[in-house]
Chain A
Amino acid sequence: MLTRDSLYLLMFGSGLLGGIGHCSGMCGPIVAAYSLHLRPSGTEGKPYTSLPHLFYNAGRITTYSIIGGLMGLTGSFANIVQAIEKFQAIAMAGIGAVMILIGVATSGLFSFGRQSAISPGSKSIAAAVTDAVRRGISFIAETQTSGSFYVMGMATGFIPCGLLYTAYIAAAGAGAGSGSQTEGFLKGMLMLFFFGIGTAPSLFLIGRIAVLKREWIRKRFYRISSLFMIIIGAMLIYRSFRY
């Protein structure tokens, strides 16, 4: 029989092991893509901090912990997954769409300045719509706050993943065997928290490598990084429809 401590250790180990081969394939391209487009912080000698990656991972772990808590609370994997399945597909498509927009905005192929392109006298609806889209894309591409990385991480936490499902099944099982719903919730939440912590090092490493070698990559592969982002975005949208 597993003790509570060894259960959490097992979840951490599962996340750590799965993070290398599994999460790095699913979330790794997202992390690499946003890392390649990070703006320098302005601090001399340390232009790129680890904060975006920390907030991104914190967001992801938050989502895992909440869903894990719900699995533990209800003791049912199937019911919760059924309830969030549509939302998972929407989140995956949404992240894909945002990545495509950022990829297009940073490709340099189009002009996406914050300044309005419409002359004050212009009344064309088409021009107004174009301008609104341009401003929207510019806003998404340029917003790089801790909060935006946290939200991106939270949204990424909804991306369906087989490894994650196994962790949720374990949380639901632990919740079903708990004495009360509160205990089940806490157990499920902590299990997924430790699982999430385990998956963080590999994604953190991908992000740091990508950001540190950002200039090297961008110098040699001009516009490729934007194209990479667009491809990953399209892949996520395709997967969301197939899911």
Chain B
Amino acid sequence: MSAPTPTPASAGEHRPHLLYVAWGFPPCRGSGVYRAWATANAFAAAGWDVTVLTAPRETFTMSTGIDESLERTVDPSISIVRVPFHAAAFESDLRRWPRSRAAAPELWNVLNARREQRTFPERTYGGWRPALESAAVEVHERHPIDLVLGSANPHVDFIPGHVLHERFGVPYVMDYRDAWQLDVFSGDRVSPEGSAVAQWERRLVEDAHAVWFVNEPILRWHADLYPTRADRFHVVANGYDAPPETTTRRPSQQGLVFGYIGTMSAAVPVDRLIDGWRLARTRSPLLAASRIELWGHLNHAGTPNEAIARQMGAFAENGISYHGAVAKKEIGAVYARFDALLLALGTGRYVTSGKVYEYAATGLPIVSVHDPGNAASDVLRDAPAWFPVADLEPETIADALVAASHAALDQTPEERRAAREWATQFQRDRQLGPQIASLRTMVEDRRAAGVPR
């Protein structure tokens, strides 16, 4: 680990220094990495010196897998400090596994989690706390930090902000991609009042300069929990980074291609989608001649979601094919293969996902295969070519697929353009820009007031 040196500033110029903390940062290929990548790049583009604390490259090459094309698009001015990280969940060498783990990996993980939470109440990642604290202080001593922004999960990413605030008065922002105490799928509170997690979160939220959430329902849930701090809460939606290129592809009466791009975790109702698709193919000659292409990882970690793996045997007979992961630089070419999109998401009124914005940016018809109460429905409610379902019954999904197939055939280039234009409201820089400007003002005001860095 090496500490960064400040970027030379011209006379009179003050480049604020952001310490950005994200366990998953490129080349990590995890689904949450795009927000981290875009946020760090946006601060750098806005004239900040940015130092990122993240996990070592080997953590990703030997577990989740990597996307080097994304890594190449990290702003070269950003200093990346890779903080040593060790967790059993990321130990993929079977020779290092005890027999008990090989025999009952799920149970072993539960028992091991207790050990990992000794220093911070977070499974798998809690043990990172001491190394993160040291790294944050080391960076601050070398190049004083004006602001810390932690991107969770993991929530241990909030620790550097907490430490630098306690020791040096540095303000910090908490950025939640999901939530800590709220299960965004079930809506249940997962950590009881008084638990270590509840105490930690309250302490962190109390002292935070701002807290970001990805959608309004998650913000409201936290506002109810921390009413005296709700004025510091902001929705910073995910948005999309660049619209997929327009294509000249025209849907064909001979058969359409429905596409899904995204991580297929166990929460994604692929089984429901397949049931609905099978039924739709019996009803529509067009769909009987059509195909589904699934692209993305089969889980958040580097190992497959076995519920899907088990269903793959029936894919071919139903016109479904799985194509593996997509690198960031190739995503536009993949969207160009599709006539319509399948937005399959886990159920939960707090679930937005990141891909909904990119889907919208294509202008293609979108079939929503998720609970209608999902927050993603709020994003697409006024979309020009959206086909939601009232429930996840095969009949309902089949109806939506048939309707979307007609829309895909009938969509004119002008209508596609209009749909893309409608989606420009979800460009990520429209989400981040105002927040970064506001933080810049806060940092400059502190500096003008003589607050020591």
Q: Do A and B come from one complex?
A: no
Binding site for A on B (CB under 8 A): none
Binding site for B on A (CB under 8 A): none
